[in-house]
Amino acid sequence: MRHPRFLAVLAIATTHAFAETGSRKLIVSLADHKLALIEDGRLVKVFPIAVGKSSTPSPTGSFQIISRTVKPTWYHAGKVVPPGPANPVGTRWIGLSQKGYGIHGTNAPRSIGKSTSHGCIRMRNQDVEQLFELVRLGDPVELVSEASPEIAGYFRPQEVSVEIALAGGGQ
């Protein structure tokens, strides 16, 4: 969901190229509806997510985490929803350097695994709470629409193994 007032923070421009830096990063595969947490080049955890629908797609590219909020208030088109069970952004907000976009919880957990948001990355509240504790301001976030073979390995390891075997790289 877009949150114009929620991210009235100055967006931090990023020139982070997707590369192994020996640090923590998030990779979001929009096609797979999954988010991977990578630390020191190793997969830590993969979470199911919801992404933007075709009329309000999630952005692609390299971003950074610029804000972290516990029990956020949701602002949209003059409407204000305080923290609580009716809040569309759930229990946590992880703001991205693309104004109005973030990774957040949801009051509609059945939307996870689908393309239904207004562009943000939705997670189950318990998942975003876990992720929230593992990420920090400045961590890079890569949103990709088409996963390269390397990135696909985080989300679809069995397919990568088959491709290697078919290419003659396996036994």
Largest Cα span, the chain: 61
Tell me which residue of 123, 156, 122 sits closest to 43, measured CA to CA.
156
- Residue 33 annotated as catalytic: no
Q: Which residues contact 46 (CB under 8 A, 6 or more apart)?
A: 34, 35, 36, 37, 154, 155
- DSSP H or E run through 129: helix 125-134
- Residue 16 annotated as catalytic: no
- Interatomic CA distance for residues 123 and 111, integer angstroms: 9
The single residue of 3, 33, 118, 120 carrying the catalytic annotation is 120
Residues acting as catalytic residues: 104, 120
